Amino acid sequence: MSTSTPARALRKASTLLTLPLLATLPVLLGACGNESEAGAEKALQIAVIPKGTTHEYWKAVHAGAEGAAQELGVQVVWKGPIKEDDRAAQVQVVEDFVVRGVDGIVLMPLDKVALAPPAAEAHGRGIPVVIADSDLDWKDRVSFVATDNHHGGELAGEALAEMLGGDGRVILLRYLEGSASTAEREQGFLDAIAKHDGIEVISANQYAGASTESAYKASEDLLQSFPSFDGIFCPNESAAFGMLRALQDSGRTKTAKFIGFDASEKLVAALREGEVDALVLQDPVRMGDLAVRACVDRIRGKAVEPRIDTGVVVVKSSEIDKPEVQALLSPDLSILNR
């Protein structure tokens, strides 16, 4: 009996010492797990919201955004409305990303007023918002990454005036009401043309609409209303292609000087054939790249310029095969297929 009592006491003491250690084991293991999770930092998720998803221009913007994302080690989530006049759809996309809690948003607003409230909502939730392509009536953006669109329109006007020798009748087919970027191009064009007393703008109040089909119909109406003219300017890809089709179908290509804005395979072919005399080119790949970089820089605490200009040039058919022009006319989109 005298030997068993100390043994039982020792076992009891050992158990009492072990229980607190067992109780703390989950805490210790949990702490190790948290440290492991913290070590493997979750990739930032950047929502990139274009005006639309069908035009070649937006595919180039997407390629630029994905290229920046791969280099920076972040994830781009690309989503936008199908049609560029669907304001409600784009508003809904922004609101959905806000609820989802993405780390940052790059927004290309198709309306400078309608998209301001959802952008402000994102900002209020602590989500930085970079505006690209078209500006927004909203002061809290991180940066505005875009072409100098007024200057692009001026370049078109100056080029057309030079082609006409400072004399003639010209038509401006506008794009879409509420689109800030194209409104600036249109005004830049008119400002440049106004410097030439010998040039008369015979129509500047017709809109092409968001699709090539609506642009084609508007172009047909213009050609019927104004059978005699010397020059045309269209401020975006779909408006230019709609006008090109109308000119082709009426047998009136090469009868007037025609300048478009942006590039697609068919517009480039028309430029090479002389059915289009010049294209004003942006750099959409660069725009997508720099917009994502600006958003990530803000999240990571780096300084960001409030305005980032992505450049614009006028290209004539004689310049089409220059390497720097080819990079703008036919951007590499292979990253979208990986």
Give every strand in the sheet of 129-132, ordered side by side.
75-78, 45-49, 104-107, 129-132, 144-146, 307-309
Q: Is the pLDDT of residue 218 over 60?
A: yes
Gyration radius of the chain's alpha carbons: 29
Taking the domain 149-282, which CATH number applies? 3.40.50.2300
Does position 26 have pLDDT exceeding 80, yes or no?
no
Q: Note the CATH architecture for domain 45-147+284-310.
A: 3-Layer(aba) Sandwich (3.40)
Same fold, 45-147+284-310 and 149-282: yes
CA–CA separation, 247 and 255 (whole Å):
9
Give the residues across from 49 on adjacent strands: 107
Q: pLDDT class for 323, splitting at 50, 70, 90?
A: very high
Q: pTM, whole model, 2 decimals? A: 0.83
Res 308 pLDDT > 60:
yes
pLDDT of residue 338: 84
Instruction: Check residue 6 and give its pLDDT.
Output: 42
> Is it the case that residue 40 has pLDDT exceeding 60?
no
Positive/negative CA dihedral, 266, 271, 272, 273: positive
pLDDT value of residue 42: 86
> 116 pLDDT exceeds 60?
yes
Show the tokens assigned to 112. Answer: 């400078």
Given a cut of 50, whether residue 43 has pLDDT beyond it is yes
What is the average pLDDT across 34-57?
78
The structure tokens listed for 203 are 């129509």
Q: Poorest-confidence range of 25-34, 60-69, 174-183, 260-269? A: 25-34
Of all residues in the chain, the percent with pLDDT exceeding 90 is 86
| pLDDT beyond 70 at 9 | no
Indicate if the pLDDT at residue 24 is higher than 50. no
CB 129 within 8 A of CB 107: yes
For residue range 119-158, what is the model confidence (pLDDT) as tens digits? 999 999 999 999 999 999 999 999 999 999 999 999 999 9
Residues 6+ apart with CB under 8 A from 128: 104, 105, 142, 295, 298, 299
pLDDT of residue 291: 99
Q: What is the overall mean pLDDT for the chain?
A: 90
Q: Where are the domains of the chain?
A: 45-147+284-310, 149-282
